[in-house]
Structure 1
Amino acid sequence: MTASRAADGRLDARPSAAPAGPPPEPGVTALDLGPGAEVLLAVPPGEVVALLVFFHGAGGSAADALRAVAEPAAARGVAVLAPTSAAATWDLIAGGLGRDVAVLDAALADVLARLPVGRVALAGFSDGGSYALSLGVANGDLAEAVTAFSPGFVAAPGRYGRPRFWISHGTDDRVLPVERCGRRVAASLTADGYEVGYHEFAGGHVVTPDLVDDALRWWLDG
């Protein structure tokens, strides 16, 4: 991936009908992508039907992402790819797209060369939700869907493809208030002509197992 592609938020990796590499073992493994790149892959036992990329919230990690979604995803046969941001939050928010996009693209290239899946979605919580939305708009030719839990905004450098969007937000969110964040983001994407499922719940700035189940069901069964 070139620096200009990373700065545009574009991902080059694509699924393969016939992956060449040995399939990843079930369980959680750390990808070897070089110094400073931390990416975890959680593979469920049995048939893997799809790949979910999940971005943690500010100050979080790949391990936090897996704790939030790996178990419900495994129950649906979904592998989870979870990168850790190079800075305290994602590059889009911490100065501009670049390193995190490049690491993600390398991780996707590695996994998609070994995992026979045709369905890919992006997801995230809080800052990670904003990142998933923004990269989803910029990479709708890769990600068929985006699920964002308590996001703050969407700021895509470009638009490619027509992914579907699912957004949840707590009505008592004190970190990213629902009126200026979840509602505004959902309205903006809808006005741009995207299919948007928007769900408000009585609660704060959280991602819960039932919300993850709802998002997975919306994506896989919709």
Structure 2
Amino acid sequence: MVPFTGPGGEPLALAYAPAGGEGPYRLVLLLHGAGGSARQGLDLLLPLADAHRLLLLAPQSTASSWDLIVEGFGPDVRRIDELLSTVFAAYPVDQVVAGGFSDGASYALSLGLTNGDLVGAVLAFSPGFAAPLVTHGRPRVFVSHGTDDRVLPVDVCSRRLVPRLHGLGYQVDYAEFTGGHEVPAEIRQRAVEWLTG
């Protein structure tokens, strides 16, 4: 695990690169939920990274949640751009994936659809919404949501969002599960198999 820190030592991100193997990586940008941490973002897929050769990059939001949730794209986008430039310079990458949980899932969808010429796929675990500024390309999308989610209820979130994405022409794999505001192990596995299949 590689920590990225700012000039004053503040945590900017965590990264993980599987050892060994040949050829380029699939880079997954992982965005934590509101009030969360880079470590929580990284942990979304860390147990599956080695088996599927996933290069993970988990930024820390500059505030308690991502800038788009509060006032529109700003300091978090700049931080993510800088982190991506650093990772691209250090590792061979052939695909970029945006992923996240809760507010991080909403942010991943918004960034991924806005930057679909760079982002090939989006993993959205329990998203609330998608608010791309504009859309480019057609990234594939995986969405999961718990039927008993009390934080972001499935009826007003994913059950509205997924048909909207279908209507806009996106290929969406949607997985509902019995549970709350969480990402069960079997959903993580399904998402990664969908991503790498």
Q: Fold conserved (TM > 0.5)?
A: yes
In the alignment, residue 37 of structure 2 is paired with which amino acid?
S
Residue 207 (structure 1) shift? 1.1
- Normalising to structure 1: TM-score of the pair? 0.84
Residue pair 1:46, 1:77 contacting (<8 A) in 2 also:
no
In the alignment, residue 87 of structure 1 is paired with which amino acid?
A
Partner of 1:106: 82
Residue 64 (structure 1) shift? 1.0
Q: Which protein, 1 or 2, shows the higher relative CO under an 8 Å CA cutoff with sep ≥ 6?
A: 1
Q: How many residues are treated as equivalent by the alignment?
A: 194
Partner of 1:89: 65
The answer on 1:201 being equivalent to 2:174 is: no
The answer on 1:29 being equivalent to 2:2 is: yes
- Normalising to structure 2: TM-score of the pair? 0.94
Structure 2 unaligned spans of 5+: none
The answer on 1:166 being equivalent to 2:142 is: yes
Structure 1 unaligned spans of 5+: 1-27
Partner of 1:41: 15
Residue 32 (structure 1) shift? 4.2
The answer on 1:154 being equivalent to 2:130 is: yes
Q: Secondary structure at the match of 2:93?
A: coil
Counterpart Cα distance in 2 of 1:49 and 1:214:
19
Residue pair 1:55, 1:62 contacting (<8 A) in 2 also:
yes
Counterpart Cα distance in 1 of 2:134 and 2:62:
23
In the alignment, residue 178 of structure 2 is paired with which amino acid?
A
Residue pair 1:68, 1:208 contacting (<8 A) in 2 also:
no
Residue pair 2:30, 2:44 contacting (<8 A) in 1 also:
no
TM alignment of 1:50-61, pairs within 5 A: 50-61=26-37
Residue pair 2:3, 2:11 contacting (<8 A) in 1 also:
no
Residue 201 (structure 1) shift? 0.5
In the alignment, residue 208 of structure 1 is paired with which amino acid?
P
In the alignment, residue 29 of structure 1 is paired with which amino acid?
V
In the alignment, residue 107 of structure 1 is paired with which amino acid?
L
Residue 37 (structure 1) shift? 5.4
Moved over 4 A (4+): none
Residue pair 1:52, 1:79 contacting (<8 A) in 2 also:
yes
Between Structure 1 and Structure 2, which shows a larger proportion of strand residues? 2
The answer on 1:217 being equivalent to 2:190 is: no
Counterpart Cα distance in 1 of 2:93 and 2:119:
12
Residue 169 (structure 1) shift? 0.4
> Deviations 1:131-186 (Å, cap 9, x if unpaired)?
00000100111110001000000011111111010000000101100011011111
In the alignment, residue 115 of structure 2 is paired with which amino acid?
N
Identity %: 46
Partner of 1:6: none
RMSD over aligned CA atoms reads 1.2
In the alignment, residue 51 of structure 1 is paired with which amino acid?
L
Residue 191 (structure 1) shift? 0.6
Residue 31 (structure 1) shift? 2.2
